[in-house]
């Protein structure tokens, strides 16, 4: 038993070393990716569920790795959060997205806003509003065409400072959404006092619609809650027409998911087939 214990210990410490080394390598590679322009922004359509029309888009980062190909954010965002590179990544994505949105609008496309993800780290440090204002000025995008997505946990972890940060951003005229709603720990009291415009229902609760009774109860409650607070509501991860039917019946205005379109490069967004899920 004793030698077993030692073997296990050796095994784990080697695992940890490998793990730590991989993270260090990833940090170096990611820093280079930023410097060498290997990051890309893809855009996923957001549809009005009533009209079926694409009305907005969400910007999602990818890493075009020279050997590994297109790497999804799930494989590098958490490391970037640990090593602090996430702030630079978010600001880079924000600037690309604002510039792209401006050129879509100039080309005559009618999009309401581009949504950009803001990490907890960037949100909770310093004056994000000043950085956003600078990027808007540099790209010439009107603030009302930008929506910032802040996760529920970022907002609820330190509600007083979150409220001030949200208010400063809102004073710029940008829209604010709480992302992954339902996965954090919102108290209704706190939610009520947050100056935001929208709740995004996490895709974990959309997956089981309309068959799963618990998902039905949760989705309905979030929609009613949003509306009673005067907020709009968007359902993420829509893959089935039945989910759209349910959401429309329950007055959820906006939706996003593979049914409507996957995240794709900017130049492909307006080339696809006309929206097939229309009224």
* Cα 166 to Cα 277: distance, rounded to the nearest angstrom: 34
Q: Out of 54, 79, 90, 146, which residue is the one contacting ligand C2E (CB under 6 A)?
A: 90
Residue 73 binding partner per list Ca ion, ligand C2E, none, with a CB distance cut-off of 5 to 8 Å that depends on partner kind: ligand C2E
179 binds Ca ion (CB under 5 A): yes
Q: Is the separation of the CB atoms in 194 and 162 below 8 Å?
A: yes
- The H or E element spanning position 103 is helix 86-106
Does the footprint of ligand C2E cover residue 45 (CB under 6 A)? no
- Per DSSP, the three-state class of 260 is coil
Residues 230-269 that bind ligand C2E (CB under 6 A): 236-239, 256-258, 263
- Of 172 and 207, the one with the shorter C-beta distance to ligand C2E is 207
Ranked by CB distance to ligand C2E, the top (closest) residue is 257
Give yes or no for a contact between 114 and 146, defined as CB atoms under 8 angstroms apart. yes
Rule CB under 5 A: choose which of 111, 180, 206, 226 binds Ca ion: 180
User: Site for Ca ion (CB under 5 A): which residue of 90, 149, 152, 215?
Assistant: 149
Q: Which of ligand C2E, Ca ion, none interacts with 77 (beta carbon under 5 to 8 A by kind)?
A: ligand C2E
Which C-beta is closer to Ca ion: that of 95 or that of 152?
Answer: 152
Helix boundaries (H) for the chain: 2-35, 77-83, 86-106, 120-124, 128-139, 152-157, 159-172, 188-192, 203-206, 213-228, 241-249
Separation of CA 241 from chain center: 23
What is the contact surface with ligand C2E in residues (CB under 6 A)? 44, 60-61, 72-74, 77, 86, 90, 93, 117, 119, 179-180, 203, 236-239, 256-258, 263
């Amino acid at each position: 038993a004793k030698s077993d214990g030692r073997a296990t210990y050796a095994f784990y410490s080697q695992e940890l070393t490998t793990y730590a080394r991989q993270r260090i390598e990833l940090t170096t590679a990611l820093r280079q990716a930023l410097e060498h322009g290997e990051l890309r922004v893809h855009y996923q359509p957001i549809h009005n569920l009533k009209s079926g029309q694409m009305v907005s888009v969400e910007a999602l980062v990818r890493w075009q790795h020279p050997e590994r190909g297109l790497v999804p954010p799930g494989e590098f965002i958490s490391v970037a959060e640990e090593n602090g590179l996430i702030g630079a990544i978010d600001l880079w994505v924000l600037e690309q997205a604002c510039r792209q949105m401006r050129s879509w609008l100039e080309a005559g496309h009618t999009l309401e806003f581009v949504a950009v993800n803001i990490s907890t780290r960037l949100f909770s440090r310093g004056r994000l509003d000043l950085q956003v204002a600078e990027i808007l000025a540099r790209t010439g995008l009107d603030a009302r065409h930008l929506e910032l997505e802040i996760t529920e946990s970022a907002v609820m972890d330190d509600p007083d400072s979150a409220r001030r940060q949200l208010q400063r951003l809102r004073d710029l005229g940008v829209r604010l959404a709480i992302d992954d709603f339902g996965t954090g720990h919102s108290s209704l009291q706190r939610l009520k006092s947050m100056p935001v415009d929208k709740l995004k229902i996490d895709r974990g609760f959309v997956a089981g619609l309309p068959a799963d009774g618990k998902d039905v109860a949760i989705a309905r409650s979030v929609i009613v809650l949003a509306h009673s607070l005067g907020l709009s509501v968007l359902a993420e991860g829509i893959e089935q027409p039945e989910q759209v039917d349910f959401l429309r019946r329950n007055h959820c205005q906006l939706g996003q998911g593979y049914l409507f379109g996957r995240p794709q490069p900017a130049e492909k967004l307006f080339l696809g087939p006309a929206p097939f899920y229309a009224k």
